[in-house]
Amino acid sequence: MQVARRVCIQESELLVKLQNIRGAVAMAFPMGLPAHDPVSSC
């Protein structure tokens, strides 16, 4: 939707979204992700 309206995203907004994803992954995998999982490098 934002692409169609040509709205720029602030870096702070992206960091908040990244923290949300990290939180969701931490809840789904409370023991942590395996080292070979690509998500663990983010």
In a domain, 25, yes or no: yes
> How does residue 34 score in pLDDT terms, banded at 50, 70 and 90?
confident
pLDDT of residue 27: 92
Rounded Cα distance, 24 and 22, in Å: 5
Rounded Cα distance, 1 and 35, in Å: 35
In a domain, 37, yes or no: no
Mean per-residue pLDDT, 2-10: 85
State the total domains in the chain: 1
pLDDT of residue 16: 94
In a domain, 35, yes or no: no
Of residues 23 and 3, more confidently modeled: 23
In a domain, 41, yes or no: no
State which residues form the domain around 13.
Answer: 2-30
In a domain, 21, yes or no: yes
Average pLDDT, rounded, for the chain = 84
CA of 10: how far to CAs of 4, 5, 17, 23, 38, in Å?
17, 15, 11, 20, 25
Residue type, 7: V
Question: Radius of gyration of the chain from Cα atoms?
Answer: 14
In a domain, 36, yes or no: no
In a domain, 42, yes or no: no
